[in-house]
Amino acid sequence: MSRMFAAGALSIAVVAAASIAANAAAPLPGEATLKVAPLIKKLTPAVVSIEISGHVPSQAGAKKRETRETRGAGSGVIYDARHGFIMTNSHVIEHAEQITVTLTDGRKLEAKRVGADLDFDLAVIKVEVEDLTSIPFADSRELQIGDFVLAISFPTGMGQTVSSGIVGGLHRNNVGIEQYENFIQTDAAIYPGSSGGALVNLEGDLVGICTAFSGSGNNNPGMGFATRLTAGQPLLRCTLHVGSGSIAAKALTVSAAADDTAIKVAVRRIGPALVFERLWEETGCRAVISALAGARGHKFVLERAVFLTVLHRLFVSGSDRAADRWREDYAIAGVAGLDLHHLYRAMAWLGEELPAKEQDGRTPFAPRCVKDVIEERLFAHRRDVFTKLDLVFMDTTSLYFEGAGGQTLGRHGYSKDHRPDLRQMILAVLLDGDGRPVCWEMWPGNTADVTTLIPVIDRLQRRFAIACEIASNCDPFQG
């Protein structure tokens, strides 16, 4: 009975199309011969050797919970030369505490783990270096049984090797290796150490990652398996297991997008948008903001710009410029077409003063603006016939402005942050009895008298029909 061996290290190979040509009959006059040497020369710099070291738990039954040192090797494929991203099998870097990548030019680089999908046995690592070569992705859905393929990898104890063969089967799902199996079967040689290597077509595009072979020992009887890579679909659904951080900040996806020249693959976190998008919908934020923005005729999706800036402030905080840079690492629906000036315009829109006829209820400190309408509509969205604000809580704090800004509300006064040289303002958040936010208010930072809350409270009673109000931490300089 043959056993399945997950090929634990580099990649593979021996150039097969060349051997086919060598054994074939002499070509007829004018008959083309297949030369793969130029293609191999172009592709081999993109396939790397990976070595790992780490610790694994001691064998079951040991009296002490000890670990033992482990070392391993495998192969990897550079798919993004600009950012240094390398794809391999997740079992290659399992238990890795240190990952070393060796390029074909002899350079040895320390790599860091980006993420891994154990179910599909795929992983991404990253190196910081320039002058890399990458292999573009092909759409493996176009593969057919009988197509010629090359396997490039680093078998254990050998240097980089190239082998050739044909696709012998597709959609193999009864191999018994992974949780989810959809393998390419090939007779291109795959050995121990070839895991993570490249399976490419004769156009030089990556169609799969060498993963395993079937055999009764360390020799390959001619049946290897590669994980399919399908451009345009997620390649990884992985979680970064670092510390005890939330899954929202660590879920990753690798997606492929085609342009006129090549297929580019970017690694992006999906967690923040995945979690918060649902709350954004359920609370009515998306519907309310879209409705208010729809009448304005903006040439960009204003609701998406607001969503991006809010999401950034929830997870990181910072300026609109910081949000524009932050979103590059995250998969957020509908923000690809946004530029920095769109974020500036979205924030300006939220603070835009309403027409004079809609200024009923303004305070001496601040006029009514678009954000007030959004708060009132969101409150109406979740309100029913039994909803009353009999009891609310107000919490305040003081903020200061650095650099330009704060000309309207900023005032020099007492600073709990010990920065009396900077303009201050007071920020208050109103919560209902269940702890849900209702709205927020602002007033100048030199208003130390608690009586300055009265206009704000009057305004809140008019906006939300509050019957009774309790102010908690209402001293602006103690909040």
**Residue 325 confidence class, pLDDT cut points 50, 70, 90:** confident
pLDDT of 269 over the 50 cut: yes
pLDDT of residue 308: 93
Cα separation of 228 and 191, whole Å? 18
Bridge partners of residue 379, in order along the sequence = none
Q: What pairs with residue 266 in β-bridges?
A: 255
CA distance 9 to 154: 7
Torsion angles phi and psi, residue 347, rounded to 5:
-65, -35
Top-confidence residue, 68 or 448: 68
CA neighbours closer than 13 Å in the CB half-sphere of residue 192: 10
**Residue 241 pLDDT grade (very low, low, confident, very high; cuts 50, 70, 90):** very low
Parallel/antiparallel/unpaired status of strands 470-471 and 392-400: parallel
Q: What is the pLDDT of residue 454?
A: 72
pLDDT for residue 30: 45
Q: Can you state the percent helix, strand and coil of the chain, rounding each to 5?
A: 25, 30, 45
Residue 212 β-bridge partners: 6, 225
Q: Which pLDDT does position 178 carry in this prediction?
A: 60
| SS3 state of residue 455 | helix
* 151 pLDDT higher than 90: yes
- Cα→Cα distances 123→26, 116, 348, 360, Å: 44, 4, 42, 58
- Which residues, including other chains, have CB under 8 Å from residue 473's CB and lie 6 or more apart? 394, 395, 396, 479
pTM, two decimals, is 0.48
Q: Where are the domains of the chain?
A: 1-24+33-56+67-269, 272-350, 358-471
Task: Read off the pLDDT of residues 154-196 as tens digits, 9 standing for 90 and up.
Answer: 998 888 999 999 998 888 876 766 655 778 899 888 888 899 9
308-313 average pLDDT score:
91
pLDDT in tens, 107-127: 999 999 887 777 778 888 999
Bigger pLDDT: 146 or 252?
Answer: 146
Residue-wise pLDDT for 333-381, tens only, equals 899 889 999 999 999 999 899 998 888 877 777 788 999 899 888 888 8
Average pLDDT, the chain: 75
Contacts 24+ apart (CB under 8 A), 240-245: 240/113, 240/114, 240/115
124 close to 115: Cβ distance less than 8 angstroms: yes
Residues 6+ apart with CB under 8 A from 41: none
Q: How confident is the model at residue 75 (pLDDT cuts 50, 70, 90)?
A: very high
pLDDT score at 221: 56
pLDDT band at 457 (very low <50, low <70, confident <90, very high): confident
Is 232's pLDDT higher than 50? no
Question: What pLDDT is attached to residue 171?
Answer: 82
Look at the alpha carbons of 336, 341, 441, 353 in this order and tell me if their dihedral is positive or negative: negative
Query: Lowest-pLDDT range, 228-232, 308-312, 365-369, 375-379?
Result: 228-232
Distance, CA of 357 to CA of 466 (rounded, Å): 23
Residue 218: is its pLDDT beyond 70?
no
Which residues in 98-133 are b (16+ Cβ under 10 Å) and which e? ebbbbbeeeeebebebbbbbbebbbbbbbbeeeebb
Q: What is the pLDDT confidence band of residue 76, given thresholds at 50, 70 and 90?
A: very high
| The predicted structure's pLDDT at residue 107 | 92
Say how far apart CA 322 and CA 312 lie, in whole Å.
Answer: 8
Statement: residue 249 has pLDDT above 80: no
Phi, psi of 44 (to 5 degrees): -60, -30
Torsion angle, CA of 31/200/5/93, rounded to 10 degrees?
A: 160
Backbone angles phi, psi at 120, to 5 degrees: -100, 0
- Answer yes or no: is pLDDT of 55 > 90: no
Kindly state the percentage of the chain with pLDDT values over 70.
Answer: 69
What is the model's pLDDT at position 59? 65
Q: Which residue has the tokens 């451009």?
A: 231
- Identify whether the C-beta of residue 338 lies closer than 8 Å to the C-beta of residue 308: yes
Determine contact, residues 256/235, Cβ cutoff 8 Å.
yes
To which residue do tokens 């018994």 refer? 176
| Short-list 314, 333, 312, CA closest to 322 | 312
Transcribe 394-425 into DSSP letters: EEEEEEE--SS--TTT-B----TTS-TTS-EE
pLDDT at 46: 95
- Residue pair 392/433 in contact (Cβ under 8 Å)? The answer is yes
Q: What is the pLDDT of residue 391?
A: 63
The CATH architecture one would assign to domain 1-24+33-56+67-269 is Beta Barrel (2.40)
> Which strand ranges, in their side-by-side order, compose the sheet holding 424-432?
437-444, 424-432, 392-400, 470-471
Q: Among 44-58, 148-162, 201-215, 242-256, whose mean pLDDT is lowest? A: 242-256
Q: How many whole angstroms separate alpha carbon 89 and alpha carbon 6?
A: 10
Q: How high is the pLDDT of residue 268?
A: 67
Phi, psi of 201 (to 5 degrees): -90, 180
150 has pLDDT over 80: yes
Q: Is the pLDDT of residue 132 over 80?
A: yes
Could you say which DSSP state residue 171 is in?
E
Q: What is the pLDDT of residue 447?
A: 61
For residue range 2-50, what is the model confidence (pLDDT) as tens digits?
A: 333 333 332 323 223 333 333 444 444 444 456 788 999 999 999 999 9
Catalytic site positions: 91, 121, 195
